[in-house]
Amino acid sequence: MKDLKLVKKLDSDVKTKQELILIAGPCTIESEESLELIAKEVKNAGATMLRGGAFKPRTSPYDFQGLGLEGLKILNKVGKKVGLPVVSEVVDAKDLEHFLELVDVIQVGSRNVQNFSLLKELGRVKKPVLLKRGASSTYKEWLSSAEYIMLEGNPNIILCERGIRSFEDYTRNVLDIGAVPVMKELTHLPIIVDPSHGTGKSSLVLPMSLAAIASGADGIMVEVHPCPDKASCDAKQSITPKEFTLLSERIKRLSTCL
């Protein structure tokens, strides 16, 4: 694609089989106790990274906005305790110093994928960036956002397909599994899939995780909560640790057949 100089497919990009990226955790961090419980269970089930929102970009200003810095500190503490690297979303460049200190991977959410000043700042840091697709990003727009980060000097980007907006309203978004082989065709960057936000329905998280792995994704990111009905954010799309255990077993088994 024209204008994309850094995210292009590298000729020397020899495909080696990497361990699946398996990110799990609550939509938002609620307390140290509940995060620790989730973290232990997902780690036992084979998660490779713990997720947890602290600064939440909520559609309504009346919804729970996250624990902020306190949440990031909890995430850092729990991640260290259970032995999992952690990822959380930054929504404002002024908080970056805390992210640099407290998280291993910095997430850019779908709402900020074209926040170019934030992307440039992230290009100047030394942490990997998990870059979600915007709900209405074309592939080219999404990759241009990755290009912004790389151009400033940070080559460590993980792309995350999380569904796009369409006329269909049965699901929260339409998960574009086709984005996975397209990204493999266009770039050398790892691509993971978020079936939680991609569907908005816990019942669809397992089948769409399998679809993601079958399509060649490098991993998935899913929301897990011990009592999904009581989750303070994204209750309908959260799965239980037990369901996550089954999901993890099945995608690992599937990936060995590919």
> Which span (23-31, 101-109, 114-122, 201-209) binds Mn ion, by CB under 5 A?
23-31
Q: Which of 98, 162, 172, 184 binds ligand PEP (CB under 6 A)?
A: 162
Residue with smaller CB distance to ligand PEP, 71 or 109: 109
CB of 15 to ligand PEP, least distance (A): 27
> Which span (19-27, 110-118, 135-143, 170-178) binds Mn ion, by CB under 5 A?
19-27
Q: Which of 30, 41, 89, 147 binds ligand PEP (CB under 6 A)?
A: 89
Question: Which residue spans within the chain are E strands per DSSP?
Answer: 21-25, 49-51, 86-89, 105-108, 129-132, 157-161, 191-193, 219-223
Q: Does 234 bind Mn ion (CB under 5 A)?
A: yes
- DSSP one-letter code for 80: H
Q: Between residue 224 and residue 253, which ones bind ligand PEP under the rule CB under 6 A?
A: none
CB of 196 to Mn ion, least distance (A): 6
Residue with smaller CB distance to ligand PEP, 162 or 184: 162
Which region holds residue 95: left if phi is over 0, alpha if psi is between -120 and 50, else beta?
alpha
Residue with smaller CB distance to ligand PEP, 98 or 132: 132
What are the φ/ψ torsions at residue 234 (nearest 5 degrees)? Answer: 55, 45
Q: Are 74 and 36 in contact (CB under 8 A)?
A: no
Q: Which residue is nearest to Mn ion (CB)?
A: 27
N-term to C-term CA, the chain: 28
Binding to ligand PEP by CB under 6 A, coded x per residue (else -) over 94-113, reads ---------------xxx--
Residue with smaller CB distance to ligand PEP, 170 or 257: 170
Nearest to 258 by CA among 226, 216, 221, 229: 216
191: helix, strand or coil: strand
Q: Count the Cβ atoms, other than its own, within 10 Å of residue 211.
A: 17
Q: Between residue 131 and residue 160, which ones bind ligand PEP under the rule CB under 6 A?
A: 132
Determine the Cα–Cα distance for residues 221 and 25; give it in Å rounded to an integer.
8
14: helix, strand or coil: coil
Q: Does 209 bind ligand PEP (CB under 6 A)?
A: no
Q: Are 1 and 140 in contact (CB under 8 A)?
A: yes
Q: Between residue 29 and residue 68, which ones bind ligand PEP under the rule CB under 6 A?
A: 53, 57
Q: Count the Cβ atoms, other than its own, within 10 Å of residue 69.
A: 13
Q: Which of 197, 237, 244, 245 binds ligand PEP (CB under 6 A)?
A: 197
Footprint of ligand PEP (CB under 6 A): 27, 53, 57, 89, 109-111, 132, 162, 194, 197
Footprint of Mn ion (CB under 5 A): 27, 234
